[in-house]
Chain A
Amino acid sequence: MNFLHPEFLYLLFIIPVLIAFNLFFKGKRTLPVTTLFIWEKFHEECKSSNISFNRLLKEIPLLLQIMFVIMSAIMLSEPTFLDADKEPDREVFIIDSSIYMNAGTEGNRYIDMAKERAIQLLQDDHRTSRVMIIEAVSNAEIVHSYSRDTNQLVDAVRGISSTDTISNLDQAITMAFSLGEIPSRIVVFTCKLPDKVSRHSDEMDIIEWVSVGDFLDNNVFISDLDIRQDFSINRNYQTFLRVSNDSDLNQNFKIQVYNEDKLYEVRNVAMSPHETKGLLFSHGQIMEGLIRIKIEVNDDLAADNEAFILLEPERKLSILMVTAGNRFLENALTLHGSVDIDLCESSNSEEKIKTGNYDVVIYDNVAIASDISADTIIICSKANEYTNTEKGMISPELLTFNYGHKSLNGLDLSNLSIDKSYILNVPEWGEALIESEYGALMFCGERDNKKLLVTGYDLMQSNFPLEIAFPLFISRVVNWFNGNEHQNWISAGEAYHYTMPTTYTEDSVTVTMPDGEQHINRIKNNSVAITDTMKAGVYRIEGDTFQKRFVVNFQTNTDSHNNVFTKNIIQKTVPVIPESVSTKLGFLFAVLALVALVAEWYFYSRT
């Protein structure tokens, strides 16, 4: 027997109190009579013949009270009976609340269907299992831990709302497997299958996919977005937009571009089925403000048809390259356009650094200065604390690239090869970007407000400068040094960090969400972190003397929209749960407790 509310079993502690009360405090029941001598005629006879029976009869009220307490405790704790040899099942319900679940009509979105279906399963009278609820967003979250309390679980499901993040079902499934014992079943409520599930095939057997809504077979979406300045004298901004047609239909639609809600460009686009098309939008004289790009198409999912860009006047970055000569790097830096580059030999670098007031110093294959006073890039320098020179230079086999980092996000480094490299000692505050079988070959990090990027290999000892990704990488690194990398654009679900101006003295700011909802965020270490960025749109950070905007976009990535359920897969319906005997006996115990009380009243209290 198991109990849905075992805490009510503490009521049983009333029993010793009842017994003590009955023994020590309860008054004796005395019946007045006019005379005793008639009773005494047979008193001795009764006393000797019925003493034990009389004692039992006298204790009946106490027995009834104890029975009432036991029944009440059992009733409130809601017992359920399982097969004797069967432990209660553990189940995990994973509800996809990613942007794809926004599809559908208002009030009948996929997320609503998923929640409704999950609630139906939770409210199944035959369910005896303990259920955990996980919300699958960009970072999976446990909404409710294992519980058998249907009401709490249903409330938890009802509290889930759709977001504008990508789904990360793989992470959610991994979480389901890793928390405690392996569950007996994992039910995933989603409208699309993930690219991959990092589990063994035997573990996959316990995963049941519940399809909700129709298939996303008619969707046009913005799959990539980038903004940069062109090479004109005015260095105008231009936006690169990648649009995908994830349907079997030819699509003709308009793309509208707004600046601060003012429409200034409309472009007609025609796309063939499953075509991906790159589009370039030049913003001309518009050098700052909010740019909103919207695809006017009637498809299954509206949330991914819109993107936001925030243009801000760019600060020039002053860079000193201490190098014997590196044209690839020099050109890549120059391409960015927001940098002023000085070159020098290592011999006079220290004096230059002292007098030049540079933002960034790049040590390219030279020894570094003893005192690092600016943001620094160290390329293949063996005379520093981060380079492990004991093993010398090795020929590494590249294992992983940290695409999650802003500098590598979206880049293709699959063809990168490095001939020789030092292995790096990544400090605690550092984050490895490229790792080999022997250790990190590139890392970056920030300490004491100084940013540092270290590579263990000479760029000339690799094919990186020849890759298309190289100038993009350098551009992003420059943005990172320039403080622009997170300044006004993040993907939904990511945390937004902003370092407050030193002139701002308050200890909190007000953050206004795209839907108008406001939160107060505390400032810690002169920085504010905004983590609730599940919805795409424009966010405002405001204080008494300060205002800042940033935009959140639906994160387009390699997560294809093609992984919707096929007709065959979704036919695998969720079986009706448990064959085990499961009966709530609360009602029965309630009736019995009532009968016990009435009996006590009838036989005892009424006299």
Chain B
Amino acid sequence: MSDLITDAALFERLKQFSFVPGRHVSSSGGNMKKRTRGTGGEFSDYRNYGIGDEIKYIDWNIYARSNKLFSKVFHDEGNVDVHLLLDVSKSMDFGNDNKLRYAKNIIMMLAYVGITNNHNVQFSAFADKSFMTMSLGHKINIFGNFLEELEDIHPQGETKLNQSIMNYLHEQKPSGLLFVVSDFLDEEGYEQGLTHLAHSPLHACCVQVLCEEENDPKPGFTDHLQDIESNRLIDFNLTSAICQKYIKAFKQHIEQFKILCLLQNILYLNLNTAFPIDQFIVNLVQQGICKRK
């Protein structure tokens, strides 16, 4: 069975949305406009005229004063870089409503919104290291290939959030929008990665995907609990009281992550795989990341 949704109605609905680059919260606390340049309507800067630049953007007043050709540069609202990072570690392959399948669909939806709005979409899957990167640009014609690649991704390795994010920032030097889709359940923590995100020229959004078994485990007779990534065991009998303790600790962990995101000016979305996935785009609109065109 395919992991990805092929509902045509969903794609038609996604076409109605676009990303809102100006609404993202900057590290300085105010609204930041996209620092990339384009040919949008609001003036941004000058640059030396080069071959291929359109003549209509040449500032003839400066040419008259300095005898040099400068092209006007404007804020570009239609050509934002969108980076999509998907956690494909073994911990994502969990739950009756599988987290990885859910996360793949989120990536697919984000990529579609990006491509249909003429953004440059860059996708990367990571586990203990980034193992696959695919640049979609704004070409809708390779979206099919992208979906095939996405479909073929299988869970592997352990979650190394800090390392993966830092590697990506170092190698890609990205700008624009960045979505990290993961369960953010990394024993080694995620603070370092979030800090690097906060100091990058990116508008980052952490999408935490969790399943019902993680949010609300049911009591049952067990001898051990086993980490599905490391296969490590600890003795535990899942009594009702222990489940309550876990739920409390788990909520605390989620809350801490959420606060850390807020402190780092990173947008945070928590998704439960039990909920319908098409509500995700509504969440993005509510958070001001997307708008209806």
* Residues of chain A at the chain B interface (Cβ within 8 Å): 28-43, 46-47, 50, 54, 57-58, 60-61, 603-604, 606-607
Contacts and interface: CB of A to CB of B under 8 A. Distances in A.
Interface string B146-188: 0000000000000000000000000000000000000101110
B94 A607 contact: no
Nearest to B231: A32
A40 B187 CA distance: 11
A36 B223 CA distance: 14
B232 A36 contact: yes
A27 to B, nearest CB: 9
A29 B91 contact: no
A31 B249 contact: no
A38 B249 contact: yes
A86 to B, nearest CB: 46
A566 B60 CA distance: 149
Nearest to A53: B239
Interface stretch (B35-43, B74-82, B109-117, B214-222): B214-222
Contacts of B3: none
B37 to A, nearest CB: 42
B40 to A, nearest CB: 43
Contacts of B186: 35
23 contacts: A28-B223, A29-B223, A30-B224, A30-B233, A31-B224, A31-B225, A31-B238, A33-B217, A33-B227, A34-B94, A34-B229, A35-B186, A35-B187, A36-B225, A36-B230, A37-B187, A38-B249, A38-B250, A39-B236, A39-B249, A42-B249, A47-B235, A58-B221
Among A29, A36, A47, max chain B CB count under 10 A is at A36
B139 interface: no
A21 to B, nearest CB: 15
A380 B11 CA distance: 133
The 3 closest A-B pairs by CB, nearest first: A607-B220, A28-B223, A34-B91
Contact of A36 (B218, B227, B237, B253): B227
B225 A39 contact: yes
Given A34-B94, A35-B185, A39-B236, A603 B226 contact: no
B239 A50 contact: yes
A58 B236 contact: no
B91 A35 contact: yes
B257 to A, nearest CB: 12
Given A31-B236, A607-B222, 9 more contacts: A32-B227, A33-B214, A33-B228, A35-B227, A36-B187, A39-B249, A43-B234, A43-B236, A604-B220
B190 interface: no
Contact of B246 (A38, A47, A607): A38
B224 A28 contact: yes
B234 A39 contact: yes
Contact of A30 (B217, B226, B230, B246): B226
Nearest to B221: A604
Among A35, A38, A42, A60, max chain B CB count under 10 A is at A35
B55 interface: no
Nearest to B218: A607
Contacts of A606: 220
B242 A46 contact: yes
A77 to B, nearest CB: 31
A54 B239 CA distance: 8
A57 B249 contact: no
Contact of B237 (A34, A40, A54): A54
Given A43-B236, A54-B237, A34 B183 contact: yes
Among A34, A36, A57, A60, max chain B CB count under 10 A is at A34
Contacts of A42: 242, 245-246, 249
A34 B228 CA distance: 6
Contacts of B241: 50
Contacts of A29: 221-224
A367 to B, nearest CB: 102
Contacts of B224: 28-31
Contacts of B242: 42, 46
Nearest to A28: B223
A31 B220 contact: yes
A607 B246 CA distance: 18
B253 to A, nearest CB: 6
A34 B99 CA distance: 11
B222 A30 contact: yes
Contacts of B227: 32-36
A58 B223 contact: yes
B250 A32 contact: no
Nearest to B235: A47
Interface in B239-287: 239, 241-242, 245-246, 249-250, 253
A60 B232 CA distance: 26
Given A31-B226, A32-B226, A41 B249 contact: yes
Given A54-B237, A54-B239, A607 B221 contact: yes
Contacts of A50: 239, 241
B238 to A, nearest CB: 6
Among A33, A40, A54, A603, max chain B CB count under 10 A is at A33
